[in-house]
Amino acid sequence: MANGRATRIQGDPDSPVNRGVLCEKGLTSLEYLYHSDRLKHPLKRAGRKGEGEWQRISWDDALGEIASKLMKARDQYGAESVAFINGSAKGLQDAVLRRFANAFGSPNIISTDHICFVPRKSASVSTYGFYAISDYEYPPSCIVVWAANLAETRIGEYLEFCKAVKKGAKVVVIDPRRTALAQKADLWLQPRPGSDLALALGFINVIIDENLYDVDFVENWIIGFDKLKTHVQDYPPENVAETTWVPAEAIREAARTYATNSPACIQLGNPIDHNVNSFQTARAISILRAITGNLGRPGGELEKSSLTSLDYFSPDITLQDMVTTERWQKRVGAEYDLVLTGTYALPQSVVKAMLEEKPYPIRAAYVQACNPLLTYSNAQRAYEAFERAPFLVVADMFMTPTASMADVVLPVASYLEFDSIVAPPYYPAAQVQQRVAQVGECRSDFQILNELAKNVGLGEYFWEKEQQFLDALLEPLGLTFEEFRKAGIITQHKEYRLYTKNGFSTPSGKVELYSETLKEKGFDPLPAYCLIPETPESDPDLSSEYPFIFMSWKSSPYRHSGGRQIASLRGSYPDPVTIIHPNPAQGLGIEEGDWVYIETKRGRIKQKAHVSEKIDPRVVGIDYGWWFPEKGALNLYDWKESNINILTDDEPPFSHEMGSSNLRGILCKVYKE
């Protein structure tokens, strides 16, 4: 610090998460903090939506106006007429917004949970009662990295992965793109985007038919094995090869490598969540972990134990118990009876309600840490919906395309500007987050919602100060936040084979390969591969006009749609990039660096071509989350020009269990600008 200003940032070498190593996003934290484009004061729209005309107002006026509009909507149209939308904060902020919404009385908490982590978590819980964490420390003898680019998106796990590899762990990478990780793997499988469930079922077929499963674990801790064995006879490697494009012998080799090198773990990535098979893909991979006996095993997949009291989304924190069955049935999209929801409604449902006023109109929306014009499927419809919203509030660090359409914009603090507790789902640890700076009038999401609660008469459900909230969260651990601040880090006491004490947290107390609970709710009790819309399998006639299949990824410098205004990040990755194989590129007259159009039935976008053999000739890889802060608010920062979600759909079919949209594996065409 110098003159009250932070001047340097570095990682904490004592952190069990990253051992002091920061990714490029973390290294630019001070650029985020002191960026000239930071929102520093509350703003009220002074012109028409999207014109970029704003009036600076006080916090009292901003919160007063928001409270007045929210209460008016609730009194005239019901609390369900107000939608509360959260995005990528992924921490206590999300829990506090849910608490506010539940106290307010609205069932319409809109989240991207359906396409981000929750399908994987829900499938794991349905199968064996917990979300499994890889035990790298032991270490594993085999690591399967499935649809995850750890080096670019999860640096802490990548560091642990590298240590395990140095100790001799075999590596299987499953990814349609030849990433740096794939190049170093003992075995790389290159599946057709969106076909992961078929591939997982092929693995199960091999492991069962070749008797490579853990007999003792299956006999003592598993139910439904015989039904699974019969079921996977429909997925021999030869059949799976046709669907996945992975040769049958490569499927056998990968399955054998995983099953015969124990202990083993599987690292899953976000693409698993991105289509109609999201939940069942994660179920099949959970089954793989179970039948090979890797659950609870040193070097395998562990259950969190002592830090469960830090569950941000426990009913005590979110006030979920205030949501009655009657209220929950009033949510938009209630016609989709999903698995293990009870906490959120689908983005596509709130967009439909905004546009069609069915089952009722949405009169107001509060958006926190979310940029739906970039991140919602069929973004053109999202734009039309938010354009029609009678009252829109956006709380964010920067003016974004979505914020540009708001009636009131609130300046949110960065993580360096407020105290908090960080407990990532992938790590058995909790760390302190400490305030070191203050920019303008920026406030944390907690401060904003805490004060707004008082303005709408809900003060009894909140606290006077942020630290009281943190104290309440830590109380089950017998700590105050000040005590936690001094400790800095709490690590989980690692326990192996927890199930031997009380069984698994499932109705049967065992791993449920065949789920009676899912069957009773009308879902597949065993994972079964479903055709994804707009693929060569489901719509062969479409292939003649749209010959490519597209996938996407998260570029390492950026977090979702954030960071395009950060000079050092933009300097390293200045343009949106589409990867295309040299063979089709040559036929289309496309050369390295050309701007190309990518088009589906819904629209087209423009990105820069990168010609590379790292992708299948039948596939193109499209950059995600692109907009252009430098192009100005009048055109909403050219939000449509390179936005992949102009190409995606928000219409059914969705995942039956989670409502997941289809975001990859879809037919498209590419041509030179």
In this predicted model, what pLDDT tens digit does every residue of 523-580 receive, in sequence order?
A: 999 999 999 999 999 999 999 999 999 999 988 999 999 999 999 999 999 999 999 9
Give the start-to-end residue ranges of the domains of the chain. Answer: 24-116+309-491, 132-302, 540-672
Percent of the chain with pLDDT over 90: 85
How far apart CA 564 and CA 572 sit, in angstroms, is 11
- The residue among 671 and 316 whose pLDDT is bigger is 671
Does residue 634 register a pLDDT over 90?
A: no
Round the CA-based radius of gyration of the chain to a whole number and report it: 24
The reported pTM is 0.96
User: Residue 357: left if φ>0, alpha if ψ -120 to 50, beta else—which one?
Assistant: left
Which residue's entry shows tokens 């006491």?
A: 493
Which pLDDT belongs to residue 432? Answer: 94
Question: Which fold is adopted by the domain 24-116+309-491?
Answer: Rossmann fold (3.40.50)
Q: Is the peptide bond before 653 cis (omega within 30 degrees of 0)?
A: yes
Find the largest Cα–Cα distance for the chain. Answer: 70
Q: Which CATH superfamily is domain 132-302 in?
A: Dimethylsulfoxide Reductase, domain 2 (3.40.228.10)
When pLDDT is cut at 50, 70 and 90, the band that residue 19 belongs to is confident
Q: How far apart are the first and last CA of the chain?
A: 49
Mean pLDDT in residue range 432-447: 96
Q: What is the pLDDT of residue 307?
A: 53
- Tokens representing residue 270 in the block: 């976000």
Average pLDDT, the chain: 94
Q: Categorize the per-residue pLDDT at 397 as very low, low, confident or very high, splitting at 50, 70 and 90.
A: very high
Closest CA to 347 of 318, 378, 319, 323: 378
User: What average pLDDT does range 479-503 have in this prediction?
Assistant: 91
Helices (H) and strands (E) in the chain, counts: 26, 24
% of the chain at pLDDT higher than 70: 98
245 within 8 A of 237, measured Cβ to Cβ: no
Q: What six digits make up the tokens of 285?
A: 């991979």
Rounded to 10°, the helix 379-388/347-356 angle is 50
Q: Closest by alpha carbon to 619, among 588, 591, 647, 579?
A: 579
Q: According to the model, what pLDDT value does residue 603 have?
A: 97
Closest CA to 281 of 652, 615, 532: 532
Asked if residue 191 has a cis previous peptide bond (ω within 30° of 0), the answer is no
Peptide bond between residue 263 and the one before it cis (omega within 30 degrees of 0): yes
Look-up of token digits 């642990």:
160
**CATH class given for the domain over 540-672:** mainly beta
Looking at the predicted structure, is the pLDDT value of residue 228 above 70? Answer: yes
Strand boundaries in 175-217, DSSP class E: 187-189
Over residues 88-106, mean pLDDT: 90
Residue-level pLDDT at 70: 98
Q: Is the pLDDT of residue 48 over 80?
A: yes
Please answer whether residues 172 and 189 qualify as being in contact, where contact means their C-beta atoms are separated by less than 8 angstroms. yes
pLDDT at 627 over 60: yes
Strand ranges of the sheet holding 420-422, from the earlier edge strand across to the other edge:
420-422, 429-433, 489-491
Give the number of other CB atoms < 10 A from CB of residue 137. Answer: 15
- Residue-wise pLDDT for 80-90, tens only, equals 999 999 987 67
**Mean pLDDT on 185-199:** 98
User: Which residue matches tokens 């010609």?
Assistant: 611
* 3-class SS letters over 259-270: HHCCCEEEEECH
What would the mean pLDDT of 161-177 be, rounded to a whole number? 96
Please tell me the distance from the alpha carbon of residue 15 to that of residue 391, in angstroms, as a whole number: 43
pLDDT digits (tens, 9 = 90+) for 307-355: 545 677 788 889 999 999 999 999 999 988 787 555 789 999 999 999 9
Looking at residue 401, its pLDDT comes to: 97
